């Protein structure tokens, strides 16, 4: 299997990745067991893929174990991913050094560093940034057993990155002003004049722009333009980001805001159960219900691809996935791990079927936003 994979991908790195699989998997299982022990009640994660036979790695008689150091560039902040990295270190003995930063700024950094980049793994908040780094040939192909952990919608079609957690676009609303059943099923219907002066959005925010890009891909530029113009006619308040929208909802400044789903849940956790902001999900394939991912990839110039791949496998383990569900209120992407019960199940949302990497191509969206006079 490994040899097949290596032959198919044809890159030396992929060959190395494949050749070292068996030893790595053994070590990974040990890691998962250890993590399970750390996590208390959690059960050890099952093997992410069938064990390949040991004889399938003839190129290297003694495959490299998981060890050494690993450099991670993380666009996810330490509060969101730091504890998982610590668990991985404790389980494997790999010394992980993390550079935290803004997702897009780290993408630019990797591109400016070129082949001199010290990074082994790039963890990004959105697929667009992974797509931008991959499009300049900086991400290596991942083996299929890693990619197959998640649904095809949530990974690079070319196999250069894989989603590790999901975030749905929602309409967050002030529950003191409106009730969930009163909100339209489709985001397209918020252009109705009855919503005038009641909406908030964040036109400069990356996740909003990703949604507009998805809208253009799914419904065409004309529909996207009509929607933007329709919302603009309703005089929405513009905010810098999702958090500002949630704060404005809580303050009663607006009634509905277009955001990612987890912001309201995090604020509720910090501010108490009487927090008035709730989520309205767009289901049934509505373009409003775009599910974007935070994901990760291994750099082609990685000095330690074994440990790099092991980290990505770890982030896709059941325990790590449960961490995203319970601690950051995101969607776990691996089948069988339950999301927070306040979330609409991923299957019900039926996120529009598009290549999330395409969300990197924002030029058209930025042009459209400025043509309509929003940016």
Partner 1 sequence: MTAAAGRLGTGVLRRRRAVARPPLGLVAVGLVIGVLAVTPLAYLVIRALEVEGDALAFVLRPRTVGVVAGTVALGALVAIGTVAVGVPIAWLTTRTDLPGRRLWAMLTIVPLAIPSYVTAFAFVAAFGPRGALHGLLAPFGVERLPDVYGLPGAVLVLSLAAYPYVLLATRAALLRSDPSIEEAARLLGDRRRDVLRRVTIPILLPAIAAGALLAVLYALSDFGAVSLLQFDSLARAVHLQYRASFDRSLAAILALMLVGLSLLVALAEGRIRRRAAAFAAGGRRRPASVIALGRLRWPAVAFCAGVVGLALVVPAATIGWWLVRGVAQGEVVGVVAADVAASFGVGATAAVVAVGLAVPVAVLAARHPSALSRTIARLVDVGYGLPGIVVALAVVFLATRLLPALYQTLALLVAAYAIRFLPLAMGTIRATLVGIGTGLEEAGRTLGDTPTDAFRRVTVPLLRPALLAGGALVFLTVVKELPMALLLGPIGFETLATEIWDAASAGFYARAAAPAAVLLVLSAATVALLLRAEEPAR
Closest distance between partner 1 and the C-beta of residue 247, in Å? 7
User: Closest approach of Cβ 91 to partner 1, in Å?
Assistant: 19
Torsion sign over Cα 103, 109, 114, 119: negative
Closest CA to 71 of 293, 307, 300, 296: 307
Q: How far is the CB of 298 from partner 1 (least distance, A)?
A: 17
- Between 242 and 317, name the residue whose CB sits nearer to partner 1: 242
Residue 287 tokens read as 């373009």
State in angstroms the smallest separation of the CB of 22 from partner 1: 30
Q: For residues 43 and 77, which CB has a smaller minimum distance to partner 1 in the complex?
A: 77
Nearest distance from residue 111's CB to partner 1, in Å?
A: 7
Q: How far is the CB of 213 from partner 1 (least distance, A)?
A: 10
Pairwise CA distance, residues 196 & 231, whole Å: 8
Which token pair is 199? 């909406």
* CB-nearer residue toward partner 1: 28 or 263: 263
Nearer to partner 1, 120 or 286 (CB): 120
Q: Give every CB contact of residue 56 below 8 A, 6+ residues apart in sequence.
A: 1, 2, 3, 21, 22
Instruction: For partner 1, give the closer residue by CB, 14 or 106.
Output: 106
| CB nearer partner 1, residue 200 or residue 332 | 200
Task: Give me the half-sphere count of Cα atoms (radius 13 Å) on the Cβ side of residue 252.
Answer: 2
Length of the chain: 375
Per DSSP, 374 falls in state: -
Helix axes 305-315, 12-19, angle to 10 degrees: 70
Compare residues 189 and 340 and give the one whose CB is closer to partner 1: 340
Whether the Cβ atoms of residue 183 and residue 231 lie closer than 8 Å to each other: no
What's the min distance (Å) between Cβ of 275 and partner 1? 10
Chain position carrying tokens 């373009």: 287
Return all residues near 73 (Cβ < 8 A) that are at least 6 apart.
98, 99, 101, 106, 109, 110, 119, 121, 122, 123
- State the nearest-atom distance from the C-beta of 21 to partner 1, in Å: 28
- Please give the structure tokens belonging to residue 370: 């400025």
Residues at the contact surface with partner 1, assessed by CB under 8 A? 71, 77-80, 97-102, 104-109, 111-114, 116-118, 128-129, 132, 204, 206, 209, 237-240, 243-244, 246-248, 251-253, 263, 266-267, 269-272, 360, 362-363, 366, 370, 375
Nearer to partner 1, 154 or 208 (CB): 208
| Helices 305-315 + 78-92 axis angle, to 10 | 120
């Amino acid at each position: 299997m490994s040899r097949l994979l290596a032959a198919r991908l044809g890159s030396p790195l992929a060959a190395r990745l494949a050749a070292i699989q068996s030893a790595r998997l053994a070590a990974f299982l040990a890691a998962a067991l250890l993590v399970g022990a750390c996590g208390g009640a959690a059960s050890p994660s099952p093997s992410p893929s069938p064990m390949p036979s040991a004889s399938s790695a003839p190129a290297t008689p003694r495959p490299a174990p998981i060890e050494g150091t690993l450099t991670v560039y993380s666009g996810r902040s330490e509060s969101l991913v730091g504890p998982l990295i610590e668990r991985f270190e404790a389980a494997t003995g790999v010394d992980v050094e993390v550079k935290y930063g803004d997702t897009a700024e780290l993408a630019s950094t990797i591109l400016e560093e070129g082949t001199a980049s010290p990074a082994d793994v790039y963890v990004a908040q959105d697929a667009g940034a992974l797509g931008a780094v991959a499009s300049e040939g900086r991400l290596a192909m991942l083996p299929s057993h890693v990619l197959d952990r998640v649904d095809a919608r949530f990974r690079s079609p070319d196999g250069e990155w894989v989603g590790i957690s999901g975030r749905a676009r929602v309409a967050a609303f002030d529950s003191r002003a409106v009730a969930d059943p009163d909100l339209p099923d489709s985001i397209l219907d918020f252009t109705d004049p009855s919503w005038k002066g009641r909406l908030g959005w964040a036109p400069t925010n990356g996740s909003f722009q990703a949604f507009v890009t998805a809208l253009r891909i799914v419904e065409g530029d004309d529909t996207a333009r009509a929607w933007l113009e329709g919302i603009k006619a309703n005089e929405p308040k513009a905010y810098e980001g999702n958090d500002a929208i949630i704060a404005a909802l809580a303050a009663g400044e607006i009634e509905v805001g277009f955001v990612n789903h987890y912001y309201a849940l995090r604020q509720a956790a910090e501010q108490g159960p009487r927090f008035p902001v709730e989520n309205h999900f767009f289901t049934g394939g509505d373009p409003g219900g775009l599910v974007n991912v935070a994901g990760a990839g291994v750099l082609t110039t990685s000095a330690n691809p074994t440990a790099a791949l092991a980290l990505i496998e770890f982030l896709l383990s059941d325990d790590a996935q449960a961490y995203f569900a319970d601690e950051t209120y995101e969607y776990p992407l691996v089948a069988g791990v339950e999301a927070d019960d306040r979330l609409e199940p991923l299957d019900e949302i039926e996120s529009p079927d598009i290549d999330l990497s395409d969300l990197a191509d924002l030029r058209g969206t930025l042009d459209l936003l400025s043509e309509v006079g929003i940016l």
